[in-house]
Amino acid sequence: MKTPLTFIDLFCGCGGFSLGLLRAGLKGLAAIDFNHEAIQVFQANFKGIGQILEKDLTTFSPAELESLLGTSEVDLIVGGPPCQGFSTARQADGANHGERLKEDPRRHLYKEFLRHVAHFKPKVFVIENVLGIRSASGGAYFSKVQAEARALGYRVHAQIEDCVDLGVPQKRRRQLFIGTREEFPAYFRSELKAAKRAVIGATLWDAIGDLPPLKAGEGEEDCEYDHERRFKMLPTMSADYLFDVLEVKKAARLTAHRARPHSARDLSDFMLLTEGESSAEAMRRSVKFEFPYDKSSFKDRYTRQHRNRPCSTIVAHLAKDGLMFIHPTQNRSLTPREAARIQSFPDWFEFPIARTHQFRVIGNAVPPLVGEAVGMAVKSYIEKAMGKRKTIASHLGPFPKDEREAVTWLLPLLDLDSRSLRRIPDTDFKRAWYAIGFIYTGLHPDSALEHGTKVVTDTDAYKSVSQIEPRLHNPYYEQSGWPVILEPVAKEAWRRNQVGLLDDDELYCSAATHRWQRLAIEIQSSSAEFAADVE
């Protein structure tokens, strides 16, 4: 690509996602959040992003954003619509699903995100959310996000990402929704790989081992580095994490390393915990805490983290207390700088706001290493997708010439059991699989077998095929959009992929490639926009 891909970051918080995307070589056009402190931090750290806006996305419109930007062209929109409305913590007490579902307006913020997608029509969008979105309200929201994005012309791939795999020393699993315009090939799940700078298997100690020891309540907002201590601790840490991820050499001063005070009772309770132990575990070995536990409804109160393991998920709740984040070897909870390092923020990243807010914006952030991996994946995806506009792998095809022909290829496979499907000859099966891709341009192969349970029969889409065979449209799975009758065929496609009879290009790209072929002809004749971008 000659020019960098551009992005907009909605619900940008302090900028964890943006930082990662910039590191992957993308260019930020705008970042929006309504939280004053988050925007303060964002502004302190990002000079090159044109529009950093403190706006409420329920009232600020995409048209206003377009006029500020002076363009409606953007390659990628990312965002983490707030997740509190979906958090599993609220589900555990029964308040977040079924009869006892509490209406939480934050659940609907994904609609504001999709409003921007509908307006700007980026090539790709990525939503990051907590895993709780999968089960909240019986999975209804998980389905709605996908169904509403499909209705906008996007093929949606839902993927769980484990931050540990991307080099973050933290147990943090998140839900990603990756939407790609339906005329492009399907996004391929293995595109998300750790950034080069990531240190796979990094531990909590790799992230914080060199920082000056503190007692509860000690530390300064801004101080000199203790180079002697770093030198001493270096052999016990990963130098790569320190220099490549935390970029300590680029930071002139150590900031936000300030421990919060704790009550005498909490401090003496912390002393009773061994490294890596929670208070529940300690009680099982008959430790008696001063904190008056009600054993009948006992919930974990304290956890001392372990040096040689990933840390527990850094959460915004750290703003309220740090009891689940006791330092592995010191008698206090983690400082904001330690939390930021565990989130993979570099040391030069400043948080010029009060400590409570520091904890909140850090806990809310997408770890920059994850943002970087997403950025690299999107870049490689778009480059490939644009490339495929030029050439089609020669082994793909044949493709149906129209929907009627596609249905003819597909019909013989309907109602077959798995054994009969296995016996379908290779060429006939591929033709039918391409026919599915051709008809259902918005469906993603990955969601064919992960579709939830809710089945619906209420839309007008795919009318022409359902006139020939109604079951080719209704009923279908609400979450994935896949017609129920096609599930055995999809299962067989996945089986063939696993045993090497259907390669990844064949599994993922057939229809899109074909639709592209038609588009390419249109493009060539009208010498339209895309051609210029490729090279």
Ligand X SMILES: C[S@@+](CC[C@H](N)C(=O)[O-])C[C@H]1O[C@@H](n2cnc3c(N)ncnc32)[C@H](O)[C@@H]1O
Closer CB to ligand X, 35 or 331, in the complex = 35
Q: How far is CA 195 from the centre of its chain?
A: 15
First to last CA, the chain: 6
User: Which position has the token pair 């970042």?
Assistant: 31
Kindly identify the residues of this chain, within the stretch 99-158, that bind ligand X according to CB under 6 A.
109
- Say which residues have a Cβ less than 8 Å from residue 532's Cβ, sequence separation at least 6: none
Smallest distance, ligand X to C-beta of residue 477, A? 28
Nearest to 81 by CA among 127, 115, 34: 127
Of 147, 28, 69, the closest CA to residue 451 belongs to 147
Q: In what order do the strands lie in the sheet with 154-162?
A: 51-54, 27-33, 6-10, 76-79, 124-130, 173-181, 154-162
State which H helix or E strand residue 16 sits in.
helix 16-23
**Number of residues located near ligand X, criterion CB under 6 A:** 21
Q: Which residue is nearest to ligand X (CB)?
A: 13
Q: Token pair for residue 40?
A: 């303060």
Chain positions 451 to 470 lying near ligand X, rule: CB under 6 A, are: none
Binding to ligand X by residue 370, rule CB under 6 A?
no
Instruction: Sketch the per residue contact string, 61 through 80, with ligand X: x for CB under 6 A, - otherwise.
Output: -------------------x
**Nearer to ligand X (CB atom), residue 104 or residue 182:** 104
One-letter amino acid for residue 240 of the chain: D
Say whether residue 167 binds ligand X (CB under 6 A): no
Task: Kindly give the residue spans of alpha helices, DSSP state H, lying in 121-219.
Answer: 140-151, 204-208
Comparing CB distances to ligand X, the nearer of 279 and 364 is 364
Q: Which residue from 5, 6, 13, 266 is in contact with ligand X, where contact means CB under 6 A? A: 13
Task: Assess 366 for contact with ligand X (CB under 6 A).
Answer: yes
The minimum distance between CB 198 and ligand X, in angstroms, equals 17
Pick the stretch among 15-23, 175-183, 411-419, 526-534 that binds ligand X (CB under 6 A).
Answer: 15-23
Min. distance of Cβ 201 from ligand X in angstroms?
Answer: 23
Q: How far is the CB of 14 from ligand X (least distance, A)?
A: 5
In the complex with ligand X, the residue whose CB is nearer, 117 or 432, is 117
Q: Which of 7, 11, 113, 399 binds ligand X (CB under 6 A)?
A: 11
Which listed residue (82, 179, 219, 310) binds ligand X by CB under 6 A?
82
Q: Which residues pair with 31 in a beta bridge?
A: 9, 52
Of the candidates 12, 76, 176, 207, which one interacts with ligand X according to CB under 6 A?
Answer: 12
> Helix, strand or coil for residue 390?
coil
Query: Is 12 a residue of the active site?
Result: no
Closest CA to 440 of 415, 408, 412, 407: 407
Q: How many residues are recorded in the chain?
A: 535
| Closest CB 42 distance from ligand X, rounded Å | 8
- The single residue among 36, 56, 261, 271 that binds ligand X, judged by CB under 6 A, is 56
Q: Where are the alpha helices (DSSP H) in 70-175?
A: 88-92, 109-120, 140-151
Axis-axis angle for helices 504-526, 487-498 (nearest 10): 110
Q: Is 34 in the site for ligand X (CB under 6 A)?
A: yes
For ligand X, the closer CB: 143 or 364: 364
Report which secondary-structure segment, H or E, holds 435. Answer: helix 426-439
CA distance 248 to 226: 12
Q: Using CB under 6 A, which of the segments 240-248, 358-366, 409-417, 478-486 binds ligand X?
A: 358-366
User: Within 10 Å of residue 520's Cβ, how many Cβ atoms?
Assistant: 18
The type of residue at 319 is A
Among 50-58, 133-141, 276-284, 471-479, the segment contacting ligand X (CB under 6 A): 50-58
Q: Which residue stretch of 34-42, 211-219, 375-383, 465-473 sits at the interface with ligand X (rule: CB under 6 A)? A: 34-42
Helix (H, G, I), strand (E, B) or coil at 242: helix
By CB under 6 A, residue 365 contacts ligand X: yes
Separation between Cα atoms, residue 506 and residue 357, nearest integer Å: 49
Among residues 21, 26, 33, 311, which is the contact residue for ligand X, using CB under 6 A?
33
Beta-strand runs (E) in 173-311: 173-181, 219-223, 254-258
Residue 159 CB, shortest distance to ligand X, in Å, is 17
When the beta carbons of 8 and 385 are compared against ligand X, the nearer one is 8
Q: Which of 14, 83, 163, 509 is catalytic?
A: 83
Query: Which residue number, 305 or 344, has a Cβ lying nearer to ligand X?
Result: 344
DSSP state of 346: -
**Looking at 35, 255, 333, 441, which residue binds ligand X (CB under 6 A)?**
35
| SS3 category, 117 | helix
17 binds ligand X (CB under 6 A): yes
SS3 58: coil
177 binds ligand X (CB under 6 A): no
- How far is it, in rounded angstroms, from Cα 95 to Cα 127? 24
Select 119 or 230, whichever has its Cβ closest to ligand X.
Answer: 119
Closest approach, Cβ 128 to ligand X, in A, equals 6
Catalytic sites, residue numbers: 83
* Residue ranges that bind ligand X, judged by CB under 6 A: 11-17, 33-35, 38, 56-58, 80, 82-83, 109, 364-366
